[in-house]
Amino acid sequence: MKTLELYLVRHGKTVFNTTGRLQGWSDSPLTPEGCQVAENLGRGLEQQRITFDAAFSSTSPRAVDTARLILNHSGQAGLPLVSLPDLREYCFGGFEGELTHIVHDKITAYRGLPSTENWLAAYRHGERNLIAESVHALDPLGLAETEAQFSARLQQGLDELIARTPHNGRALLVSHGIAITTILKMIDAQSILYQSVPNASVSRLHHQNGMWVIQSIGDTSFSLL
């Protein structure tokens, strides 16, 4: 069985993050702050003498750009970057690009809850991905993923990452907020609430004997060095 260490990073802050719009398979550019924090993360990794044997991102430009900034500023600009479509963010279907608060209002009404605050609390502390469940049910285009589809896709992406990383290697993966939370919950359902880790944060995972172990979640200290 292959052993590897994974540095799982959320992409840098984007325009849609800043303006409060949903971005799953849709995309928006990194903001200047998002670029700077990704560069700082790269420098922090270099200061800690952390190097990678393989580098991956989703195929979304915001993840690709973040990964390249990290590699370029960690002394590893020459390391090939492999983009894997299965590690993209959740697909919001017809709600892509919509204002986040509008979608939350629709879900609140759909679930018969008294306020958006009640809905967000139910989502964060839920035992399953209520965002995926609700958006899939409400999507006017019928394109939004179910939780099962999303989780299965992410598992396929992780399996490909494992296959393409050298034994006893260390890999970088730049992915997305809900995707990272879902991956962590697939490993340990109690490890995190349903909420995104910070932009450009690092969650460290260890894979051995066919099992993943979470070592840290949402660490932003590398970009502060």
Catalytically active residues are: 11, 89
207 is in an annotated binding site: no
What's the chain look like in SS3? CCCEEEEEEECCCEHHHHHCECCCCCCCCECHHHHHHHHHHHHHHHHCCCCCCEEEECCCHHHHHHHHHHHHCCCCCCCCEEECHHHCCCCCHHHCCCEHHHHHHHHHHHCCCCCHHHHHHHHHCCCCCHHHHHHHHHCCCCCCCCHHHHHHHHHHHHHHHHHHCCCCEEEEEEECHHHHHHHHHHHCCCCCCCCCCCCCCEEEEEEECCEEEEEEEEECHHHHC
12 is in an annotated binding site: yes
62 is in an annotated binding site: yes
11 is in an annotated binding site: yes
15 is in an annotated binding site: yes
Helix (H, G, I), strand (E, B) or coil at 211: strand
Binding site per annotation, positions for substrate: 10-17, 62
Binding site per annotation, positions: 10-17, 62
